[in-house]
Structure 1
Amino acid sequence: MVRQRPEIMLLSLLLHVAEGDRLIQLPDTRFSIPGKLRKRGPGFAVSVLCAVALSLMGSAVGNATPVVSSSGPEAKTRTLKGGALLTKPAYAGYKRKPTVQTRMEDDLDLGFSPVAQGDRHRVIRQGTELSWNGQGRSLSWIAGSSDGNPTQIRYGLTDTDLMQQMGVELLNTDDAQIQPVRWFSDPESQPLNLPVVWSQGRRYLDITPLAEEMGWQLRESGQILEVTSPGATVEEIEQEEEPWGDRIVLDLNGTPLFTVTSSPIEPTPQDEDPNPDGVQDSGPPALPLQEFVITLDATITPELLNARAIAKENLTTATDGASPGNKTIALTLGQTGFAGLMETSGDRTTLRFQIPQMWRPRVWTDRNPNRLIIDIQPDVVTERNILWASGVRWRQQLIEVADSRFPVVWLELNHRNASNTVLKPITANPGLPGIAELSQIADRLGANAAINGGFFNRNNQLPLGAIREDGRWLSSPILNRGAIAWNDAGSAIIGRLSLEETLTTAQGEALPILFLNSGYVKAGISRYTPEWGETYTTLIDNEMIVVVEGGKVTQHLQGEKAGESTFAIPKTGFLLTLRSFASALPKLPIGTSVLINRVTVPSYFDVYPHILGAGPVLLNNNWIVLDPEAEQFNQNFIEGKASRSAIGQTEDGRLVIAIAHHRTNGPGPTLTEMAQIMQQLGSVNALNLDGGGSTTLFLGGQLLEHPPRIIPRIHNGLGIFLQSE
């Protein structure tokens, strides 16, 4: 072979010289987070030399791209000691592809990421504002074409903005390249299918088919996309009592944009204590309420206003809230027993309802005639089954457990088989202290989806559990609690985890280190490395600080009050904090050499570069395995009812991240009920994440089905990054 093909001999020599007889492995560029530069080592020089040699010889060599071999063995699973399920990915080999010539400007186009494997659209312009018949809205839009032809422009809006600011309903789909929608249309007789376009990591829908169907006129004006549409009016209001609740129907002349918002109603003193004399009422407790608001870019006809409007002084207390000077129509929800009002101001009409916070009314549209329909009932949930991107499916459904029904929202992640799906632990700040809203964390890091992660101390904003990223321990596990570990090849395990560190001195002293980079406090020694940040601030009074640099003890320092003493963490070492353990200080004299030994328990966790801890473990091999004592949770925590979030693993290796805020007639699930919910979602292994007020699920710029209250701030979570393949 070498004699017949001399270029192979030259290629072999080049590789031998550049790499020193080391095995060369093709770099896998699929798993780099957007925005992070990759370091170029000797392999890059080899690539350059090879390219020059092959160019001179005129040889054509196929590209070796990592793919999952269709002929390899099936993925295998086995139960390991400790109860965790180890899933091994199917054999991954290399498959040759023909070289594809691309234009230079396509290679340099950083504005588009074809995550959904759709046609390549060239983004020509983008903006940040939409003007709808003169009414401004802040949103992101793009303009582009499939071939860069400026005369064939198509416009895209993010699916989040279409839903939240225009009232477009996303319908179920198994095609990641096409998103069917409902917007004053009949999905069966008149489907509206909008192409999916990805730009700068965001999912846009091509609204050109919608604009053509509705007769919109589109025009750009700098950063503003101006849309001119025929005006719309509300011509009639119909109220219907259904067996399941109340329905309100607005008959429309036109197709207006509409937004749906909600905010909690603070209870009055009377609501907080309805029985001040201490006499127990036999009735159910009052439900916390929300103001549910629908705003339309439409006016009410004078005839309807004259026929239905009433004076503000005649409104009941429950419907009080109308703006002064506006004509108001009162709405009574006979079946559910709540009230609302409808008023017009300028070119907009607003509907307001006071309903329980846990209710999620469905607002949807129909055509022939154009109608806006509002369904208000206790257990409504908009069911979804959307292949949102290659490797990410968005699901919503009512899940029944015993005699309760839970609205559950979850994402199915095909982490093993979708090469564009990358999972990473994410934190609020580059340094470990700090909390932020999940959407802010995801936006800052460029995550397309995310869920809240492990526990943290709200006072000092420090982590209380395992966080490991790319093999670096940002925070160690505590109390043998549950964790999930995974790698970039798609393998993952769930189980209870501990980290054991021992510091050994040159004199043979062995000292146990309780925690690494942790906000959890216990008498003994803890260790803080540069992964914690540039500095460490004491967590209790009178901590003794031992500075270690270059493997030797260099300083002894004294902390004072908790939160008031800050010490620099050496870049080439670490700090040891001695909490109520002064007797260890004489064993660490200045100048002594020290060595750190570390093992994970179970040991197989250590081979996984990414770990996120919380607890307790919910499922193992499809069995509910709640054990509060093993993870040092109290029984009240197990039995309490609250919002829950969890991550699970299916038998075929997919990951499920799910949230459940409440049951249809009361508070959220217990941990046992959450384990049963995860079973119904197909999980055989599952881990509870930090729940309660931290429960949040983020997708494409929006929080999914979040209750109308202050958006919580969290310390860490799991981020899903979608990249071009």
Structure 2
Amino acid sequence: MTRRTGRLRTALTVFAAWSALAGATLAGAAPASGAPAFGRLAPGVRYAEFDIPAARGVAHAHVLSIDLGNPRVSVDLLHPGAVAARAPISRLADAQGAVAGVNGDFFNITETQHPGVEATGASVGPAVASGRTTKAAVPDGQRFGPALPPGTSTEDVLGVGTDRRARLDALALDGSVVTGGTRLPLGGLNQYALPVGSVGAFTSDWGRASRVRATCGTDTDRAAPCSTDTHEVTVRDGRVVSSAGVPGSGTIASDTTVLVGREAGAQQLRKLSAGERVVVRHRLVAAASKIPYHFAVGGYPVLRGGRPLAGLDDVTSAVRTAAGVSDGGTRLLLLALDGAPEFRSGLTIAEVADTMRQLGSVDAFSLDGGGSTTLAAREPGSTAATVRNHPSGGAERPVPNGIGVFSRS
């Protein structure tokens, strides 16, 4: 972890003036005295750190400014190769060749309510990596993290389309299991929690983790007991090859899909016989954009059209990670607060929304925070990313995904 340099002690009056300065500063023009000074990390990528006076004390921010209008620059999902796996952001950035990155979605971090069931480490919301869907969203009542603001859901994403523009959207699963004359709706894709009564599909993207957690809790109560009515069917090359009464674990081959059912879904899967032909289809459908997504990660909106969402928490302060969209989607801002003891009080979600607005964002999105908050970036000329903030747990927390920033020299 690198030591912070050039800390800027900004006054409240300067913070209030950032909205007027942000456009020039983020574009790389010389900032006014006291404004956050962005330095070049790579073509189209800039970095700054500065203090933010907040209700519970001073917070310290680390921010990346990414010019998506620059053809050398791109953004994609950082991930360890499996949905149900975790790794530190700096390691993920180095493995995928990113010049910088921040942590991503909230995730299934613990399972204290379900003895004997292991946490999967899988993220809450939808995920798209390099144009390929890897998972869909768990039910709202099954998410980990703070309460969602009114009008938001686990399907909300921050994404970058094939048009290279960033935007906020929602991605819903549209899928089916077809066998003979029967068509069953698909309730999940590589999720740690399935809707009650549904059938979910697990592919090679899931990883080795047990699929039992997918049948625990309910749509409204994450801590509810695991279902006692479950069934699992393995489909290889489009035909049923095996079944079991309890969800299993282990690597899933690329030509294989494992179907897990609970309650009514389990009853339907029990009707399938070995050798029977089964077709599984799935896709994510965007609520707003008709442009396909190259990248998407889950979280929840805090700012839309320059206005904070109604009902944002203005009481609970914490270390946070957030993303902002400006300049018609051609600029992406990634913010990670510092978790050092003197700054650990952090910001409320309402203060995060205001901070992103002051930095020039029109839309903003909250990502996982607390001990997960990490911003890693290469020093100019280096091939390895180093952690720029101080994670509040004292070291990098392994996470399931993140936002990676790529820049060709």
TM-score bucket of the superposed structures, by smaller chain: 0.7 to 0.9
Does residue 702 of the first structure (1) align with residue 378 of the second (2)?
Answer: no
Equivalent in 282, 286, 292 of residue 607 of structure 1: 292
Q: Hey, what's the Cα distance between the residues in 1 that align with 2:124 and 2:253?
A: 23
Give a deviation string over 1:52-78, Cα, whole Å, max 9, x none. xxxxxxxxxxxxxxxxxxxxxxxxxxx
Give the letter for the 2:403 counterpart: L
Q: Paired residue for 1:455?
A: 106
Q: Paired residue for 2:309?
A: 625
Equivalent in 196, 201, 215 of residue 527 of structure 1: 201
Q: Paired residue for 1:396?
A: 49
**Cα drift, residue 454 of structure 1:** 0.5
Give the letter for the 2:261 counterpart: L
Give a deviation string over 1:653-688, Cα, whole Å, max 9, x none. 200000224797871211111111110111001110
Equivalent in 233, 236, 241 of residue 554 of structure 1: 241
Give a deviation string over 1:250-286, Cα, whole Å, max 9, x none. xxxxxxxxxxxxxxxxxxxxxxxxxxxxxxxxxxxxx
Q: Hey, what's the Cα distance between the residues in 2 that align with 1:498 and 1:423?
A: 22
- Alpha-carbon distance change, 568 to 388 in structure 1, aligned in 2, over 3 angstroms: closer
Equivalent in 638, 644, 657 of residue 334 of structure 2: 657
Give a deviation string over 1:674-718, Cα, whole Å, max 9, x none. 111110111001110011111111111321231572332212101
**Cα drift, residue 448 of structure 1:** 1.2
Larger radius of gyration: 1
**Cα drift, residue 456 of structure 1:** 1.3
What is the alpha-carbon root mean square deviation over aligned residues? 3.2
Corresponding residue SS for 1:604:
coil
Q: Paired residue for 2:174?
A: 500
Q: Paired residue for 1:53?
A: none
Does residue 585 of the first structure (1) align with residue 269 of the second (2)?
Answer: yes
Corresponding residue SS for 1:393:
strand
Q: Hey, what's the Cα distance between the residues in 1 that align with 2:311 and 2:239?
A: 42
**Cα drift, residue 461 of structure 1:** 1.8
Give a deviation string over 1:411-443, Cα, whole Å, max 9, x none. 100012x2221211011x222322222212222
Q: Hey, what's the Cα distance between the residues in 1 that align with 2:167 and 2:195?
A: 28
Corresponding residue SS for 1:531:
coil
- Alpha-carbon distance change, 626 to 426 in structure 1, aligned in 2, over 3 angstroms: farther
- Alpha-carbon distance change, 655 to 476 in structure 1, aligned in 2, over 3 angstroms: same
The percent identity for this pair of structures is 24
**Cα drift, residue 451 of structure 1:** 0.2
Give a deviation string over 1:271-309, Cα, whole Å, max 9, x none. xxxxxxxxxxxxxxxxxxxxxxxxxxxxxxxxxxxxxxx
The number of equivalent residue pairs is: 337
Give the letter for the 1:672 counterpart: A
Q: Paired residue for 1:212?
A: none
Q: Hey, what's the Cα distance between the residues in 1 that align with 2:342 and 2:73?
A: 33
Q: Paired residue for 1:431?
A: 82
Q: Paired residue for 1:320?
A: none
- Alpha-carbon distance change, 609 to 490 in structure 1, aligned in 2, over 3 angstroms: closer
- Alpha-carbon distance change, 501 to 647 in structure 1, aligned in 2, over 3 angstroms: same
Q: Hey, what's the Cα distance between the residues in 1 that align with 2:344 and 2:277?
A: 61
Q: Paired residue for 1:676?
A: 354
Give the letter for the 2:184 counterpart: L
Q: Paired residue for 1:689?
A: 367
Q: Hey, what's the Cα distance between the residues in 1 that align with 2:271 and 2:249?
A: 24
- Alpha-carbon distance change, 699 to 401 in structure 1, aligned in 2, over 3 angstroms: same
Q: Hey, what's the Cα distance between the residues in 1 that align with 2:290 and 2:49?
A: 32
Q: Hey, what's the Cα distance between the residues in 2 that align with 1:691 and 1:626?
A: 21
**Cα drift, residue 455 of structure 1:** 1.3
Give the letter for the 2:402 counterpart: G
Q: Hey, what's the Cα distance between the residues in 2 that align with 1:627 and 1:600?
A: 27
Are the aligned partners of 2:231 and 2:270 in contact in 1 as well (CA < 8 Å)? Answer: no
Give the letter for the 2:238 counterpart: G
Does residue 571 of the first structure (1) align with residue 278 of the second (2)?
Answer: no
Are the aligned partners of 2:56 and 2:317 in contact in 1 as well (CA < 8 Å)? Answer: no
Q: Hey, what's the Cα distance between the residues in 1 that align with 2:316 and 2:44?
A: 34
Give the letter for the 1:577 counterpart: V
Give the letter for the 1:544 counterpart: H
Give the letter for the 2:176 counterpart: T
Q: Hey, what's the Cα distance between the residues in 1 that align with 2:7 and 2:57?
A: 27
- Alpha-carbon distance change, 510 to 409 in structure 1, aligned in 2, over 3 angstroms: same
Give the letter for the 1:719 counterpart: G
Give the letter for the 1:545 counterpart: E
**Cα drift, residue 651 of structure 1:** 2.7
Map of 1:458-469 to 2, 5 A cutoff?
458=109, 459-469=119-129
Map of 1:66-465 to 2, 5 A cutoff?
384-400=37-53, 405-416=58-69, 418-427=70-79, 429-458=80-109, 459-465=119-125
Corresponding residue SS for 2:362:
strand
Give the letter for the 1:702 counterpart: T
**Cα drift, residue 170 of structure 1:** 6.9
**Cα drift, residue 592 of structure 1:** 3.6
Q: Hey, what's the Cα distance between the residues in 2 that align with 1:456 and 1:392?
A: 28
Give the letter for the 1:575 counterpart: V
Give the letter for the 1:475 counterpart: K
Q: Hey, what's the Cα distance between the residues in 2 that align with 1:440 and 1:409?
A: 19
Q: Hey, what's the Cα distance between the residues in 2 that align with 1:604 and 1:588?
A: 37
**Cα drift, residue 490 of structure 1:** 2.0
Q: Hey, what's the Cα distance between the residues in 2 that align with 1:606 and 1:527?
A: 25
Give a deviation string over 1:89-142, Cα, whole Å, max 9, x none. xxxxxxxxxxxxxxxxxxxxxxxxxxxxxxxxxxxxxxxxxxxxxxxxxxxxxx
User: Taking structure 1 as the reference length, what is the TM-score of the superposition?
Assistant: 0.43
Equivalent in 644, 649, 657 of residue 320 of structure 2: 644
